[in-house]
Structure 1
Amino acid sequence: MLNHLSQTQIETIAVWYVVQHSLSSYYKIKAHFKNLEDSLKPESLIAWKNLNLHKNHIQRLEKFHTQEGQTEFQHLLQHIKQSSDFVITEADSCYPTQLLPYSDRPPIIFGQGNEQILLQPQIAIVGSRKSSPHGRQVAYDFAYYLSEKGFYINSGLAQGIDEAAHQGGIKNHRTIAVMGTGLDITYPSQNQALRQEIINHHGAVITEFLPTTKPLQQHFPRRNRIVSGLSLGIIVAEASLESGSLITAKLAADQGKLIFAIPGHIYSEHHQGCHQLIREGAILIDHPEQAIEDLALPTQWHSQQNSEQNNSTELSEKDSNQFLDIPDYLIPLYKQLDWVGQNIDQLATTLQLDIATLTGHLMELELSGLCMQQSGLYVRCRSNK
């Protein structure tokens, strides 16, 4: 349960609530107004109309300023506090940096569990809901192996492949579920126990949707862009030609992510989607180590992680205290770094630092084992100290 919401979070929630999760309307409003507080004032109605926002959004802003509207909104805030362990907006330092490059990024994330892990390196494992026993075993095995190596397994909490991937990641306390509903609803309902197990094992369950949002069909492609956006690469473990996981693969390709597909028997309908992806350019893999190699990540992620030496308490403390040994002036730079890599000009522009100062800061992080340079790009590392 969340005890407090910042003013920025409340304003973001208010706009998100009024525009009913419309990304286009939200970002039009954000671009037009100096701040979200101004956009919610009654006198902003004219500007909303001039922005050609949907008439329902304009009507909802009018209602928002009535006594009934304010009562409903306060009830929503209480609902959010009761159902969430954390709320993250783009203005918060813990917002996942890997989502920032995308114009359709979620302006707000509601979550339960450990918010710190959203910044950790993730690999998505997706596939058909109606999966075969073989497909579920492969998804579990790949998730177990990759999570043992230190990666967080990201998936959509659906039946079938998603479910098996989460179960494999749970064994090493490393899995993240992205939902297509509000946090107060579990879909499918039979995965309620799995969802709770993810939270109990220091994972996270997140969504961009407000409480009471139902599992409507159009919500799942939206959820899939977050699954792929958070991840370094996408593994399609098993998919028919009609599988929704092919949408995730397409979204990931549009985002510039590597797509991996696990092949199967040529006569198996369960694998026709994977075979189609391979024909279209996805990387064929039959062992999870191949995904690590193709992602060309820092070498410390290749070494075997001894999960027995890191019980759940130690892992939680390590995640939550990861910045304690970094000087305050280096924390913004470390948080900006990711596992894909950024050149020095990108970092200088984002952090508004001159090249000389930035070079010195990067050198300090490199000497501390928290950063390394690969092919001219700077990537985040974990200290081995």
Structure 2
Amino acid sequence: MKDLPFWVAFNHLPGIGPVRFQKIIETFGSASDAWKASPKDLIHCLGEKIVEEILPVKLSLQPEEVFQKILKRGIHILPISDERYPALLRDITYPPYLLYQRGDFDFRSSKKWIAMVGTRRATTYGKKVARYLARSLAEEGWIVVSGLALGIDGEAHYGALEGEGKTVAVLGTGVDIVYPGSNRGLAERILHQKGALISEFVPGFGPQKESFPVRNRLISGLSLGVVVVEAPLKSGAMITVNFALEQGREVMSVPGSIFSYQSEGTHQLINQGARLVHNVADIVEELGFLASPHSKMKKKTALPDLDEDEKELLNFLDISGCYLEELLTKTGWDSGRFYKVLLSLEMKKVIQTFAGGKIGLV
């Protein structure tokens, strides 16, 4: 594509998003012709204010030089006209006209895409749920999409990697900048396991507050549906949900504790009609897929046979777990009966002991 260096050059100019770039192509026929156009012609297309803003930057750029510099860094450039461009993303309103990608992942390799999002301030419960769901979905061949943020996003990526699957991280920075920096190791693991880091922002673009809500439309746009694990009422995850609804994507929500601030948003979504996610099969069913006959998913979501004592003890465990002595007091049993049932549940891999001595569900 001979015009691509000029696409990249326009992408470096402030204020040239999908809408204005489309108008540029419609007006001039190609990005190269637009780049060579006079300021007067550009003003006729974009308006005087925008042209005044972009001209100093435009005059400092050499399109072919900028283009080659990016390629030499091993960064792939995907224009919307490229067959490798994500098909689901191409169908949203005003998709990015360019994507930058690190990693050799091919977006045509799967039709099973799921986004998982949530708060950066995730609880232990939320982190465990996100990792479990993502791992199980990856084992079933799903591509897990998230934003490489702290909390739920990071756990979703880690879970997909543990499931020996692929995961795609959508960045609110250029693909050469990992934010937060503490997730650089995770980013390298994603690339090592043949996943991808993608962004619509040019390489070298650093973290800015307003860029992260913008990237959230890509997280939902890449996916068939969005699973919200934990989210306050006002959060980036809820912004992603709004984009998902606009794009016609399915929205699913994991319930949490009624005492948890981090679950207020997820509970509101359920009240408004989002699919309640109790296990991985709920997600797959909502998206119109069936688990394979030998699916690991079915094995993992089925509880073993439990006797009445075992069921009764489980009723005393909530999502936050319970300390051993507290649990014994709640049951009102003698210690012999209590420890016998506890051991049986541990052997059946229904409960486990967490750091700090709490007993919780596996």
Indicate the residue corresponding to 2:302 in structure 1. none
For residue 186 of structure 2, the aligned residue among 176, 194, 213 is 194
**Which secondary structure does the structure 2 equivalent of 1:123 belong to?**
strand
What is the deviation of 1:81? Answer: 2.0
For residue 152 of structure 1, the aligned residue among 133, 143, 146 is 143
Indicate the residue corresponding to 2:127 in structure 1. 136
Indicate the residue corresponding to 1:48 in structure 2. 42
| TM-score where L is the length of structure 1 | 0.72
Distance 1:56 1:84, change over 3 A: farther
Distance 1:210 1:63, change over 3 A: closer
> Does residue 1:27 correspond to 2:27, yes or no?
no
**Which secondary structure does the structure 2 equivalent of 1:286 belong to?**
coil
Indicate the residue corresponding to 1:37 in structure 2. 32
In the alignment, is the contact (CA less than 8 A) between 1:126 and 1:155 conserved in 2? yes
**Which secondary structure does the structure 2 equivalent of 1:220 belong to?**
helix
Indicate the residue corresponding to 2:95 in structure 1. 105
For residue 169 of structure 1, the aligned residue among 157, 160, 184 is 160
What is the deviation of 1:242? Answer: 2.4
- Write the letter of the residue equivalent to 2:54: R
In the alignment, is the contact (CA less than 8 A) between 1:86 and 1:115 conserved in 2? no
**Which secondary structure does the structure 2 equivalent of 1:163 belong to?**
helix
**Which secondary structure does the structure 1 equivalent of 2:177 belong to?**
coil
Distance 2:29 2:43 in 1: 17
Indicate the residue corresponding to 1:291 in structure 2. 283
**Which secondary structure does the structure 2 equivalent of 1:110 belong to?**
strand
In the alignment, is the contact (CA less than 8 A) between 1:21 and 1:209 conserved in 2? no
What is the root-mean-square deviation in Å for CA atoms of aligned residues?
A: 2.0
Distance 1:177 1:184, change over 3 A: same
Counterparts of 1:1-385 in structure 2, within 5 Å, are: 6-43=1-38, 45-53=39-47, 55-61=49-55, 64=58, 66=59, 68-70=60-62, 73=63, 76-117=66-107, 120=110, 121-171=112-162, 172-297=164-289, 299=290, 302-304=292-294
- Unaligned segments of structure 1, at least 5 residues: 1-5, 307-385
- Write the letter of the residue equivalent to 1:108: L
What is the deviation of 1:270? Answer: 1.4
The percentage of counterpart residues that share the same residue type is 32
Distance 1:145 1:165, change over 3 A: same
Distance 2:72 2:274 in 1: 42
What is the deviation of 1:264? Answer: 0.8
Deviations 1:170-189 (A, max 9, x none): 12231100000012211001
- Write the letter of the residue equivalent to 1:159: L
Deviations 1:192-220 (A, max 9, x none): 00000000011111001001211111111
Q: How many residues align?
A: 294
Distance 1:288 1:21 in 2: 41
Distance 2:287 2:199 in 1: 26
**Which secondary structure does the structure 2 equivalent of 1:46 belong to?**
helix
Distance 2:284 2:10 in 1: 40
Distance 1:167 1:54 in 2: 48
Distance 2:241 2:79 in 1: 26
Indicate the residue corresponding to 2:342 in structure 1. none
In the alignment, is the contact (CA less than 8 A) between 1:84 and 1:110 conserved in 2? no
In the alignment, is the contact (CA less than 8 A) between 2:227 and 2:254 conserved in 1? yes
Distance 1:63 1:296, change over 3 A: closer
Distance 2:57 2:251 in 1: 45
**Which secondary structure does the structure 1 equivalent of 2:12 belong to?**
helix
Deviations 1:53-86 (A, max 9, x none): 462445534653x4x433xx55533442244431
What is the deviation of 1:16? Answer: 1.4
Distance 1:28 1:272, change over 3 A: same
Query: More displaced, 150-159 or 16-25?
Result: 16-25
Which one has the largest radius of gyration? 2
- Write the letter of the residue equivalent to 2:233: L
- Unaligned segments of structure 2, at least 5 residues: 297-362
In the alignment, is the contact (CA less than 8 A) between 2:5 and 2:64 conserved in 1? no
Distance 1:215 1:63, change over 3 A: closer
| TM-score where L is the length of structure 2 | 0.76
Distance 1:224 1:254 in 2: 12
